[in-house]
Amino acid sequence: MTTADFTRDEIETGKRLFNGDWQFFAAASSPESLPKMRATEIAFAGRSNVGKSSLINALTSRKALARTSRTPGRTQELIFFSASGPLTLVDMPGYGYAAAAKSKIAAWTDLIEQYLHGRANLARVYVLVDARHGLKDTDDATFKVLGRAAVSYQVLLTKADEVKPSELATRVGEVEAGLAKWPSAFPTVLATSGREGTGIQDVRAAVARLLNERKADSSRK
């Protein structure tokens, strides 16, 4: 399902942008261990077990670039992936997993907030939401953090293949309506499936459009 129209050029540019030798290059468990800023970064956030790793693997056409696990909350660091091009992907720790120790959650929260506030090359955060369930209170907490950091973000629905088309259309409308109250949220939602490849072309094109817009803005300054 597509909720945004992309040009053929954006689709092709997005395909080339992600068609590289993507590799892990850094992990940060504290603000002090963050790698130096270089390429434009886009980050992926979401509740634990929402499918972040599967989506990153689908975008990069790699089966095991990002680790997938049946254990919620496994990603406890900011994980950076690069293909030596103009883009870096960042896998953020999953949130909303109550079984994690409070001290661990506090450390993750501090790391994420400092990353969001101090990363000038961060172009956008993609917040992943399970298409089967829609927005939850834990997502609102994340939207507040992103708003305080003045970071642009867009919601991607995951596991769209597990929802009937009619229900998916309704869910997209519900989520977009729920985002209306958040000024920093991108108004449109993209539905994806890492397993089936649904929406992957759209996400790549969206990133290509974003990088082109940033380049244009930079040239005007």
* Residues above pLDDT 90, as percent of the chain: 71
Burial of 83 (0-12, 13-18, 19+ CB in 10 A): buried
Is the pLDDT reported for residue 193 higher than 70?
yes
Give all strands (DSSP E) within 106-192, no chain letters.
122-130, 153-158, 190-191
Q: Pick 129 or 195 by higher pLDDT.
A: 129
Please check whether residue 40 is in contact with residue 121, taking contact to mean a CB–CB distance below 8 angstroms: yes
Collect all residues with Cβ–Cβ distance below 8 Å to 109 and sequence separation of at least 6: 145
Instruction: Provide the pairing of β-strand 190-191 with 153-158.
Output: parallel
Mean pLDDT of the chain: 89
Beta bridge partners of 88: 41, 82
Does the 8-220 domain belong in CATH 3.40.50.300?
yes
The average pLDDT across 151-158 equals 96
What band does 95 get if pLDDT is binned at 50, 70 and 90? confident
* Helix (H) or strand (E) run with residue 141 in it: helix 137-148
Collect all residues with Cβ–Cβ distance below 8 Å to 171 and sequence separation of at least 6: 131, 134, 157, 163
Give the per-residue pLDDT at 41: 97
Is the pLDDT reported for residue 2 higher than 50?
no
The pTM assigned to this predicted structure is 0.91
Is the pLDDT reported for residue 211 higher than 50?
yes
Q: Model confidence over 109-137: pLDDT tens digits?
A: 888 999 999 899 999 999 999 999 999 99
Give all strands (DSSP E) within 92-131, no chain letters.
122-130
Q: Can you give the residue ranges of every domain in the chain?
A: 8-220
What band does 93 get if pLDDT is binned at 50, 70 and 90? confident
